[in-house]
């Protein structure tokens, strides 16, 4: 009787992680220049507490910071705590945010996250990503913004601006925000991690803009790997 043939072992393909196209020393120089250009970077969303920042960032999805600020100035004048927001209710919140995209669903989430903060976290905004993403309407990006801005944690929230800048410059190329975030966390020098989120987002918002980047005004022009520079 013929012996059974042994199964052929197959080698598992090693999936290589994306790597920066910029050398370590040049990355360091890049952030030195970005920091010199904007010494005190901060979010352009208006807030006065961890709670109001959570709400503002949750409202900012598919909306501009300018548009969100116009709405929240009035909203927060009436409700700037979870308790007041819950008392205001969905219809009350909706009344103030109708100028923002997806306002119906956002009003529902704002009230629901307010209730959860009260019921599950004693009225205080949680300080871990794992807890923050449990809040309705709060994803990883929102959680990272809150952790960085009000709790001083070196997180990087990858939005469309940071995704674009990271890929264009070659700093942290990736096919999706998670890949870019993972690579940024590995390559950004520790001394610049606290401000990296703001430097990159502001650079993308005002200099490395989507349609026609302002390369002639770029402080990291000489370090950038973008092939289609405009200057």
Per residue in 152-173, pLDDT tens?
A: 999 999 999 999 999 999 999 9
Q: Return d(Cα 26, Cα 6) in angstroms, integer.
A: 52
224 is annotated as contributing to ligand binding? yes
171 is annotated as contributing to ligand binding? no
Q: Give the CA radius of gyration of the chain.
A: 22
Is residue 186 a contact partner of residue 212, using CB atoms and an 8 Å limit?
no
Q: What residues in the chain have per-residue pLDDT under 50?
A: 1-2
215 is annotated as contributing to ligand binding? yes
Is residue 154 a contact partner of residue 142, using CB atoms and an 8 Å limit?
no
Q: What pLDDT sits at residue 62? A: 87
Q: What pLDDT sits at residue 9? A: 55
Q: Return d(Cα 93, Cα 20) in angstroms, integer.
A: 43
Find the distance separating the first CA and the last CA of the chain, reported in whole Å: 76
Q: What pLDDT sits at residue 41? A: 85
Q: What pLDDT sits at residue 230? A: 83
Is residue 106 a contact partner of residue 75, using CB atoms and an 8 Å limit?
no
CA 139 to chain centre: 10
Burial, 193: exposed, middle or buried (Cβ in 10 Å; 0-12, 13-18, 19+)?
middle
212 is catalytic: no
Q: What pLDDT sits at residue 71? A: 97
95 is catalytic: no
Q: pLDDT tens, 35-54?
A: 999 998 888 999 999 999 99
Active-site hit among 37, 84, 119, 141 = 141
Measured over the CA atoms of residue 147, residue 152, residue 157 and residue 159, the dihedral's sign is positive
Burial, 122: exposed, middle or buried (Cβ in 10 Å; 0-12, 13-18, 19+)?
exposed
pTM given for the model: 0.84
Active-site hit among 159, 178, 193, 222 = 159
Taken in order of first residue, the domains within the chain and their CATH numbers are 24-41+154-217 (1.10.1670.10), 50-149 (1.10.340.30)
């Amino acid at each position: 009787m013929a012996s059974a043939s042994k199964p052929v072992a197959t080698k598992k393909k090693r999936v290589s992680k994306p790597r920066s196209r910029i050398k370590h020393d040049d990355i360091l120089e890049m952030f030195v220049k970005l920091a010199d250009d904007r010494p005190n970077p901060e979010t352009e969303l208006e807030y006065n507490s961890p709670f109001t920042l959570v709400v503002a960032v949750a409202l900012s999805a598919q909306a501009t910071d300018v548009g969100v600020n116009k709405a929240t100035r009035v909203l927060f004048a009436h409700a700037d705590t979870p308790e007041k927001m819950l008392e205001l209710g969905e219809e009350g919140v909706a009344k103030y945010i109708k100028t923002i995209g997806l306002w119906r669903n956002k009003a529902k989430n704002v009230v629901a996250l307010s209730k959860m903060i009260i019921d599950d976290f004693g009225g205080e905004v949680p300080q871990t990503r794992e807890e923050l993403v449990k809040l309705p309407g709060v994803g990883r990006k929102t959680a990272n913004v809150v952790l960085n801005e009000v709790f001083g944690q070196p997180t990087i929230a990858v939005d469309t601006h940071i995704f674009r800048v990271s890929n264009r410059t070659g700093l942290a190329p990736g096919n999706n925000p998670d890949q870019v975030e993972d690579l940024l966390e590995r390559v950004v020098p520790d001394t610049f991690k606290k401000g990296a989120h703001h430097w990159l987002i502001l650079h993308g918002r005002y200099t490395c803009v989507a349609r026609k980047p302002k390369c002639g005004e770029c402080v990291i022009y000489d370090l950038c790997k973008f092939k289609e520079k405009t200057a």
